[in-house]
Structure 1
Amino acid sequence: MMRFLVVLFLLVFNCRLSAQAQQGQIVIGEAVHEPQLVVQVPFGERVAFGDVEIELTRVIDSRCPQNTTCVWAGIVEIEALVFKNGKPIESRKINLNSPAKTLFNSSAQELMGQSVLPYPDASQPKIKQEDYVLNVVWSQF
């Protein structure tokens, strides 16, 4: 008799959970992230993110080139101009190896520097400034 009651309880409980899931009442403790896009900003060009534009103006690249052995991994810093509604609002200098990579932040969006391409290669000539491309993560809220 006890087994019958346990099985009955489990069936009722399972049906109740199923009904709640269909009504959208079950809360899952997993975070949902806002949509993000990665947009490339070529050196010297303005790229629009809504009413904000970013222009990459300088790259300081001391990363360890591919096909070499280095004691230090190196860093890459970028300088960029930030425009809002076509007018310059600030110049930003960020180290892409640090956690603080924000180019622009507002209540509606955030622009974060992610990486710079191309990656240095010992078998290739030195990268010219105009060949760099900045990858920007665009989060909209």
Structure 2
Amino acid sequence: MKKALFLLIVLCTTIVFSQDQPVEVPKIVVKVPMGETVQFQKASVNFIKVLEDSRCPTDVTCVWAGQVKILVEVKEKGKAAVQKEILFKGSVDTTLVASEGYKLKGVSLSPYPTSETQGKLDYVLLVSED
């Protein structure tokens, strides 16, 4: 009886303390293929082209990780379209639109190059809406 009571107390304690940890909400991203425009809640994003892709291929050891620079056109509702160069390198800010509690941010550019990748890739910009 003492063992059952002890196990019940341990079980209840575990359940109570396990719920103190916050749950991280997954970030939902939208794919914007190169050459296409995607409409968001308060803006549209047109992924025009890749200006530079010097990222180190995934199956190669490099001294420098590299970077990728893209050109996008962002049009907020009620405003003129603006072309922006976005740089994906380390912790550089990749915000596309930021206004009144609304934010569009470039998350990443896919696919990541490999040593066997040759020629043009079918690039896709991943954008999150906050």
Q: TM-score, normalised by structure 1?
A: 0.66
Contact 1:41–1:47 under 8 Å retained in 2: yes
Calculate the aligned-residue CA RMSD, in Å. Answer: 2.5
Q: How many residues align?
A: 109
Q: Is 2:124 aligned against 1:133?
A: yes
**1:104 maps to which of 97, 105, 109:** 97
2-side partners of 1:36 and 1:95: how far apart?
A: 21
Deviations 1:87-116 (A, max 9, x none): 642111121124311101111410111100
Please point out which of 61, 71, 92 is paired with 2:84.
Answer: 92
Amino acid at match of 2:97: F
Query: Considering only CA atoms, is the larger Rg found in Structure 1 or Structure 2?
Result: 1
SS at structure 1 position matched to 2:114: coil
Return the offset for 1:41: 0.7
Matched, 1:42 2:42: no
Amino acid corresponding to residue 132 of structure 1 in structure 2: Y
> What residue identity is the alignment partner of 1:110?
K
Once residues 42 and 78 of structure 1 are traced to their aligned partners in structure 2, the CA distance between those partners, rounded to angstroms, is 12
Match of 1:53 in 2: 44
Unmatched runs of 5 consecutive residues or more in structure 2: 1-19
Question: 1:64-103: CA deviations, max 9, x gaps?
Answer: 0122221211001111000133864211112112431110
CA gap 1:35/1:104 in 2 versus in 1, 3 angstroms: farther
Q: Which of residues 55, 59, 69 is equivalent to 2:61?
A: 69
Task: Note the residue ranges of structure 1 that are not aligned, 5 or more in a row.
Answer: 1-27
1:17 corresponds to which residue?
none
Q: Which amino acid in structure 2 is aligned with residue 49 of structure 1?
A: F
Please give the per-residue CA displacement for 1:26-80, whole angstroms capped at 9, x wherever unaligned: xx9x999888521111101110111310011121211001222212110011110
TM-score (norm 2): 0.71
- When residues 123 and 34 of structure 1 are mapped into structure 2, their CA distance, relative to the original with a 3 A threshold, is closer
**Kept after mapping to 2: 8 A contact 1:68/1:122:** yes
Counterpart AA for 2:33: P
Partner of 1:119: 112
Amino acid at match of 2:96: L
Taking the aligned partners of 1:66 and 1:81, their CA distance within structure 2 comes to 29
User: Structure 2: how far apart are the matches of 1:43 and 1:86?
Assistant: 24
Do the aligned residues in 2 keep the contact of 1:120 with 1:126 (CA within 8 Å)?
Answer: no
Question: Structure 1 106/32 Cα, relative in aligned 2: closer, same or farther at 3 Å?
Answer: farther
